Structure 1
Amino acid sequence: MNKVTFIGGGSFGTALAILLANKGYEPNIWDREEAVVDEINNKRTNSKYIKDVIIPSGVTASNNIEDAIKDADFVVLTVPSHIIRTVCKNFKEFIPKKAIIVNVAKGIEEGTNLRLSEIIKEELPNNPVVVMSGPTHAEEVAVGLPTTIVVSSEQMDKAELVQELFMCDCFRVYTNDDLIGVEIGGAVKNIIALVAGVSDGIGYGDNSKAALMARGLMEITRIGTALGAKPETFIGLTGMGDLIVTCTSMHSRNRKAGILIGQGYSMDEAVEHVGMVVEGIKACKAFHELKDKMQVSMPITDNLYDILFNGKDPKVAGSDLMERDKKHENH
């Protein structure tokens, strides 16, 4: 049976490890925090990241990266997007050349504007890279509630191996050869989810959120197709599917942070209150820079950027979005 190692013992890494253990695998989780590792091994819980879930005995955890990753067939990166390069660089000497790298983080790199698969390829040029993305909150995956996800790669035969690895009766895995679209859809939807949370925090209604989601999907499609993605990808799981769940669920860190910002909290206060990485903040900064380079119109992203980094009042941002010049819906 294949050896699978998860780099990062957060909520989604733990949830996917539970899924594999329930399929009969014996996955290993590496995490830098000794307390997390000890709790997984000794109490069969991970209360810091995923509460009220018992972790099967087949899952083990380790602080020793060399032991954790030795002979791994699949190395699953379940760390935040902004440390993907650092993790790959620091651990490359331990990663087996045969291992398929599976990335579940969503975002692009600030400064370079590289997609995460491109970063991984730079640091680990000998390893095939597969991306997983879709509407999969860890809290539901961990307890076996039905969900679906997409895998993509430049080497689709490797994506099919990852599909086979994770596919089960509660976790349906599709393949999609549009790697750019899969990655961009998963990254930009975090920006829109933050804005949807801001709307909720202000006290706007369901109509407002529906409008933000629909127009947000347009922004995802605009920047994605400008980068070479297929437009149809964004009406699928990694576009519309992920957007719906992240904008509406209270499992969403981005929505939670947005609600607090809409209620008057600062960005830093909101992040501290959520207690975990809010990917939409870094995505907003990165895509605000990228869309200017690409000359792509993203007014929702522009206004969120001003709220987060220039102190713009969220209600003023809402008014500015509503009062823009008239235009055709498809432009």
Structure 2
Amino acid sequence: MKRLAIIGGGSWGTALALALSPRFSDVRLWVHDAALAGRMETSRVNDFYLPGFDIPPQVRISHHLGVVLDQADVVVHATPSHHAREVLGQVTPHLAPAAMVVSATKGIETGSLLRMSQVLAEVCGPRPLAVLSGPSFAQEVAAGKPVALVVASDEKSVAGAVQMAFSTSALRLYVSSDVVGVELGGALKNVIAIGAGVCTGLDLGHNALAALMTRGLAEISRLAVALGGCPQTLSGLAGMGDLVLTCTGALSRNRKVGIGLASGVGIKEISASMKMVAEGVRTAAAAMDLARRCGVEMPIAEQMEALLAGHRTPVEAIRLLMERSLKDE
């Protein structure tokens, strides 16, 4: 595999272009905003989403999908989940027949409640598909700091091919066949991270944060297993690993949302102040719709959904969690 196309010029798509550029002779990055694409191609910096990191000369940046996707062997989708279907619909006509598509987006589609790989399969049709997930802040990946991720596919050969193509001295990939568990771990941890931000913003202490993360992992696992995932997956990088990072890291956007809510700022104001999407804001409602459909109890996600909808205050959400009926672990 020689030619790589990355769809999405946000912080994550740009970081992947930087990290994977040594592995491909031709890397092309699609940026939705034409003006930003022009600046990036000229200045070799993503000054809006990922300032401070030089883009290697072998990475070509364009606003035109046909240019970016021309003869691409591997296509990485890295746009926000709520834009995925629309963007993939524009991508599909330009895909080479044998092109492999990798989803690097963490989220659940509102309404359909489909995971990103399911949206991709619906829109792009039968072709080799994989998902990439795990604990990974874009800034650290762009800086070349060590990171370990999981690539999952229903076809072991596809996951193995991505593993071999993407792995570097700073990027270590593990293979999984549990697409459901890997995707749900990556999507649902964002909801729990909003709760972690609330705990931090209310200064509830380390005990409360540890309890929230542990019980959060338990409810993520319940839903993943109910939908066909493997419980072991949620104890790995795509589950516990990503949850720990997103709940505790200062770079976490979802954690910042929770901190803002705890300080009394409304969700519309918080979202408007952020350059990049905090996926947990949309995922909370979708996660609860899935949980209700499956008959799975997710008390933390339920309180985050109510908090984001303006039906609870942060203090009320924590109190209701603590006053739930007592039960076995």
Per the normalisation by structure 1, the TM-score is 0.97
Determine the structure 2 residue equivalent to 1:10: 10
C-alpha contact 1:29 1:68 (8 A) present in aligned 2: yes
Matches within 5 A, 1:1-331: 2-23=2-23, 25-329=25-329
Number of aligned pairs? 329
Cα distance in structure 2, aligned partners of 1:25 and 1:76: 16
Residue identity (%):
40
1:84-136 alpha-carbon deviations (Å, 9 max, x no partner): 11111122111111110110101111222111111111111132111000001
Distance (whole Å) between structure 2 residues aligned to residue 255 and residue 36 of structure 1: 27
Superposed CA offset, 1:132-158 (max 9, x none): 000011100001100100001111211
Q: 1:274 offset after TM fit, Å?
A: 2.2
CA–CA distance in structure 1, aligned partners of residues 197 and 275 of structure 2: 16
Query: Quick one: which amino acid aligns to residue 88 of structure 1?
Result: L
Amino acid at match of 1:317: A
Alpha-carbon contact 1:134-1:186 (below 8 Å) kept: yes
Letter aligned with residue 179 of structure 1: V
Q: How many angstroms apart in 2 are the aligned matches of 1:268 and 1:285?
A: 16
Rounded Cα–Cα distance in structure 2 between residues aligned with 1:286 and 1:314: 20
Aligned equivalents of 2:169, 2:18: Cα separation in 1: 14
Quote how far apart the aligned CAs of 1:24 are.
Answer: 5.3
Mapped partners of 2:87, 2:34: distance in 1: 17
Structure 1 CA distance for aligned equivalents of residues 299 and 69 of structure 2: 44
Deviations 1:40-73 (A, max 9, x none): 2111110211121111111110111111101010
One-letter code of the match for 1:281?
A: V
Contact 2:5 / 2:29 at 8 angstroms: preserved in 1? yes
Task: For residue 203 of structure 1, give the secondary structure of its aligned residue in structure 2.
Answer: coil
**Structure 1 runs, 4 residues or longer, greater than 4 Å off:** none
Amino acid at match of 2:276: M
User: CA contact under 8 A between 2:107 and 2:283: conserved in structure 1?
Assistant: yes
Q: TM-score, normalised by structure 2?
A: 0.97
Report the CA distance between 1:39 and its aligned residue: 2.3
CA displacement at 1:275 relative to structure 2: 2.2
Distance 2:32 2:233 in 1: 36
Q: Which runs of 5+ in 1 are unaligned?
A: none
Per-residue CA deviation, residues 140-180 of structure 1 (Å, 9 max, x unaligned), is 00011001000011112111111111101110000011111
Unaligned runs of 5+ in 2: none
Tell me, in whole angstroms, the C-alpha distance in 1 between the residues paired with 2:25 and 2:260. 40
Q: CA–CA distance in 2 between the matches of 1:265 and 1:310? A: 11
1:22, 1:56 within 8 Å by CA — same for their partners in 2? Answer: no
How many angstroms does 1:182 deviate by? 0.5
Contact 1:257–1:274 at 8 Å: present in 2 too? no
Retained in 1: the 8 A contact 2:23–2:165?
no
